[in-house]
């Protein structure tokens, strides 16, 4: 009997914690977004600047995911299927962006491409703008989410060993064929998982982008930055209305992630 009481007290504690910490903030967004009615809501989300911000966010994230997934696959291939010295060091280096504050990530690109950056003279000569322009935003986002796919793939591919790939190589298959036909089927769910994580993080990236963007409305504002501006201007409803788009995307991502995890677990069995 005592055991049952303990069990339900623990459950109650845990669930309350989650409700307060996770569910309430979500609810806040939705409630405040719709507080002033449907019209105000749609006005905010279809606002010209909001739409432009959304486009920029999607563009930056799209490029980021492609770049980082490509990197992740190559890096995981090199690290998991071969033996060489300095493997641990390489893995640690790749993980660096994971442990650096996003502000520092943004700062770093200013130091390279900004006015005081050492690459600036070069950029000026070619009339390329990076900082306070879209390329800077994309680069910063790439930096921050750099290891997301590789972190998923490396342990996965290491655990799967390289015997099958060796067998294929012995039969004369070339690299891309081996990857496509032998490796990919094994890693597809892990890969998808990493891509989902990378997408989520790049859509929501704020700190790094904040530093390099220059906050030019309509030009260099991502959706999270737009939210910040609205909030700081006390346009609460608008801020939350736009946020709700991001919340919707976040929830979809969570659902996708859960489906993928479920599939991964099923395959492991």
One residue of 44, 135, 136, 146 binding other proteins per CB under 8 A: 146
How many residues line the site for other proteins (CB under 8 A)? 94
One residue of 135, 136, 153, 165 binding other proteins per CB under 8 A: 165
Q: Does 184 bind other proteins (CB under 8 A)?
A: no
Are residues 160 and 267 in contact, defined by beta-carbon separation less than 8 angstroms?
Answer: no
One residue of 13, 66, 184, 216 binding other proteins per CB under 8 A: 13
Which among 38-46, 48-56, 123-131, 239-247 is the span making contact with other proteins, rule CB under 8 A?
Answer: 239-247
Q: Could you tell me which of 81, 79, 82, 100 has the C-alpha nearest to residue 91?
A: 79
Which among 37-45, 128-136, 184-192, 205-213 is the span making contact with other proteins, rule CB under 8 A?
Answer: 205-213
Instruction: Tell me phi and psi for residue 174, to 5 degrees.
Output: -90, 170
Q: Does 204 bind other proteins (CB under 8 A)?
A: yes
Exposed, middle or buried, 178 (CB in 10 Å: 0-12/13-18/19+)?
buried
> Could you tell me the smallest distance in angstroms from the CB atom of residue 25 to other proteins?
4
Cα dist. 192→47, 96, 149, 250 in Å?
33, 22, 9, 16
The DSSP letter of residue 25 is H
* Nearer residue to other proteins within complex by CB, 62 or 204: 204
One residue of 49, 58, 62, 117 binding other proteins per CB under 8 A: 117
Site residues for other proteins, window 26-85 (CB under 8 A)?
A: 26, 28-29, 32, 67, 70-71, 74-75, 77-79, 81-82
Residues in the chain: 269
> Could you tell me the smallest distance in angstroms from the CB atom of residue 106 to other proteins?
8
Q: Does 157 bind other proteins (CB under 8 A)?
A: no
One residue of 44, 192, 243, 260 binding other proteins per CB under 8 A: 243
Which residue pairs, CB below 8 angstroms and at least 24 apart, start in 194-197?
A: 194/69, 194/72, 194/148, 194/149, 194/150, 194/151, 194/152, 194/153, 195/65, 195/69, 195/149, 196/253, 196/256, 196/257, 196/260, 197/148, 197/149, 197/152, 197/257
Phi/psi region, residue 83 (left: phi>0; alpha: psi -120 to 50; beta: rest), is beta
Which among 36-44, 47-55, 125-133, 224-232 is the span making contact with other proteins, rule CB under 8 A?
Answer: 224-232
Q: Pseudo-torsion of CA 226, 21, 249, 267, nearest 10°? A: 150
Binding mask 87-106 for other proteins (x = CB under 8 A): ---x-xxxxxx-xxxxxx--
One residue of 131, 142, 192, 241 binding other proteins per CB under 8 A: 142
Which among 39-47, 121-129, 159-167, 184-192 is the span making contact with other proteins, rule CB under 8 A?
Answer: 159-167
């Amino acid at each position: 009997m005592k055991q049952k009481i303990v069990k339900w007290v623990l459950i109650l504690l845990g669930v309350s914690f989650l409700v307060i910490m996770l569910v309430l903030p979500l609810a806040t967004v939705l409630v405040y977004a719709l507080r002033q009615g449907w019209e105000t809501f749609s006005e905010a989300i279809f606002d010209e600047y909001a739409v432009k911000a959304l486009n920029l966010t999607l563009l930056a994230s799209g490029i980021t995911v492609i770049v980082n997934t490509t990197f992740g696959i190559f890096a995981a291939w090199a690290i998991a299927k071969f033996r060489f010295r300095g493997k641990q060091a390489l893995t640690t280096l790749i993980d660096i962006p994971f442990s650096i504050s996003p502000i520092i990530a943004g700062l770093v690109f200013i130091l390279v491409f900004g006015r005081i950056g050492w690459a600036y003279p070069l950029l000026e000569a070619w009339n390329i703008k990076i900082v306070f322009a879209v390329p800077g935003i994309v680069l910063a986002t790439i930096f921050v989410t750099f290891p997301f796919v590789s972190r998923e793939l490396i342990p996965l591919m290491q655990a799967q060993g390289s015997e099958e790939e060796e067998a294929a190589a012995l039969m004369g298959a070339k690299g891309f064929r081996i990857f496509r036909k032998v490796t990919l089927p094994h890693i597809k769910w892990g890969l998808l998982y990493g891509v989902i994580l990378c997408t989520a993080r790049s859509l929501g990236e704020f700190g790094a982008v904040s530093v390099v963007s220059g906050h030019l409305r309509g030009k260099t504002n991502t959706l999270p930055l737009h939210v910040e501006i609205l909030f700081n201007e006390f346009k609460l409803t608008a801020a939350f209305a736009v946020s709700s788009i991001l919340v919707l995307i976040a929830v979809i991502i969570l659902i996708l992630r859960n489906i993928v995890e479920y599939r991964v677990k099923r395959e492991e069995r």
